[in-house]
Each structure stands twice: as C-alpha cells, then as structure tokens.
Amino acid sequence: MNPHRRSPWVIAATVLVYFFLYAPIVVLILYSFNASRANVKFEGFITSFSDRVEMDGSFVKASPCGPFHWFCDLSKNDDVLEAAGNTLTIAFVATIISTIIGTMAALALQRYDFKIKPFSQLSLYIPIVIPEIVMGIGILTLFSQTFGWLNEALNLTGDARLSMGIGTVAVSHIAFMVPFVTLVVQARLQGFDKSYEEAAMDLGANEWVTFWRVTFPMILPGVLSGALLAFTLSLDDFVITFFTNGPGSTTLPIYVYGLLRRIITPQVNALSTVWILTVFIAVLLLQWLQSREQKPAHE
C-alpha cells in the first residue's frame, strides 16, 4: 500500500467536516455586507458609497464608510462599545485569576498526596459536566442570599448596597473556568521529568528559583493553552452571565441576544464578525507565543 495515497472517501469526509464547521461562519461574514436592512435574505453586496446615506442637519450626504457602514455604525454605538469593554474586562480579569488558581491546583494535584485528593480531582469535573443553566441558577441564588444577608447585617443602603454587576460576573466566570485550566495544565504535567528540577536544586537553586527558571518555562505551553481556553469560554459565555449580571454589566453575548429578540440585522452579523476576528487574532497570538517558547527546547 502506498502510504502517500489518500482514499477519496477520507478526502470527502474531511471536506464535509470542514464545511460543516466553517460554512456558518462564512455565511455570517457574508451577511455582514448584505445590502438588505432586514437581513432576511441576501440581496447583494453594498458596493458603492451611495448605498448608505446619513442625515447631516438639513443635508443628506453619502456615508464615508461605503460598504463598511455597518462596522462604522458599531464603532459609534455607545452600547456596543460599553458591552465590548465589559466583555474584555471580565475576560481578562477572570482569565488571569483562573489561570493562576488552576496552575497551582494542577501542581498540587499532580505532585502531592493528601486525604481529600480523590474528592478534589472528582470535583473538578462537576462544573464541566453539569448544565450551565443549573450552575447559573446556583450562583445567582448564592449571590442573592449572601448579598441580602450582608446588606441587612451591615445595614447597607443606597449605592452602598451589594448588588449584581461586573464583579459577580467575573467571579462566576472564574468558578467555571478554573477546572478547565487545571485539567489542561495537569495534562501537561503528566510527562514532566522531575530530574530537571532535581538537577537545578543540586546546583544550589531553591524551590522558588527552580519553579520560575525550570518548571514554569517547561509547563508554559500548557498554561497558555489553559489561559486561551478560559479566555474564549469567558468571551462566549451567555447562560451564566445572563443569571449573574446586573445594571451596567451587559456583555456582548447578552447585547446580541437583546438584538436578536427584535430582528436580525446586518449589524448583528457585523458585530459577530468583529468578535470572530478578535478571537482569531488571539489564537494566532497564542500560537506565535507557543512557537517561541518551544524553539529553545528543540535547539
């Protein structure tokens, strides 16, 4: 058998899988430039500057953005900018904290034996396997009861009262992101050779120096992978965010859901396209960082 010859069935199956995965994304991007305002069906591309007009006082003028006017509208929409800022703020904060906690948990579970280790390992899978709506309701109940008790016990009133907001969303994201980071870093630690650490300690390095100079660089690809997974999960989350957000903490998924309840417009597709490009750039950046970290090991 020729090892370089590929079966036509394998090629056909591969094409179908990629079509199934990426055709919806291509259609979404295509409809971002739809000439129709209702976006129910594709009526052609917006190709000229005269396809979009704006009112400027008593004058009517052509849009300076031309076929990209939906993207210009998004950049001038304060609600979109606020939702994007909230989403990125929550994602960055939750990713940093969950990555730190998840990495420490993975090191503890991989290297040390303690009485509740089996329970700790099992508990990591609970936030992953249970439905998000169950976790969202549970977190909502926890925050509501806790804030109600604290507001009453401390006699907090007015603006001082504890309520849902960006902080509660970030905490809830950390709660379900930590297990993902822990499992990814723990998988990286499975093949870790402790002889490198022992050699560093034999040369006079203490545990702290050994971790930063030897252990951390070797597990960094796993840490970055866990961080990227956590970051994308936070960006895409809707269910848990829906239950734990409050006034002034609307994220992009919540904002898009509000738009979809009325009518699907090209602005919704344009917003989704921008978000896809943002995540795609983040993935490329991570791949570049991982390739840089892995070069010294091959050399």
Condensed to tens digits (0 to 9), the pLDDT of residues 262-285 reads: 666 667 777 778 778 877 887 787
Question: Per DSSP, what are the bridge partners of residue 61?
Answer: 54
CA–CA–CA angle 155, 160, 165 (5° rounding)? 125
- Identify which has the larger pLDDT, 122 or 72: 122
Cα 231 from chain centroid (whole Å): 3
Distance CA 182, CA 161 (A): 34
- Identify which has the larger pLDDT, 11 or 263: 11
pLDDT of 62 strictly over 90: no
Tokens of 21: 């995965």
pLDDT of 66 strictly over 80: no
- Domain extents in the chain: 79-262
Condensed to tens digits (0 to 9), the pLDDT of residues 213-265 reads: 888 888 888 888 888 888 888 888 889 999 988 888 888 888 888 877 766 66
SS3 string of 239-263?
HHHHHHCCCCCCCHHHHHHHHHCCC
Which of 185, 181, 175, 178 is closest to 107 using CA atoms?
A: 185
Domain 79-262, CATH homologous superfamily name and number: MetI-like (1.10.3720.10)
In Å, what is the CA distance from 272 to each residue of 8, 27, 32, 190? 35, 11, 9, 38
Q: What is the pTM of this model?
A: 0.76
Distance CA 193, CA 176 (A): 30
Letter for the amino acid at 199? Answer: A
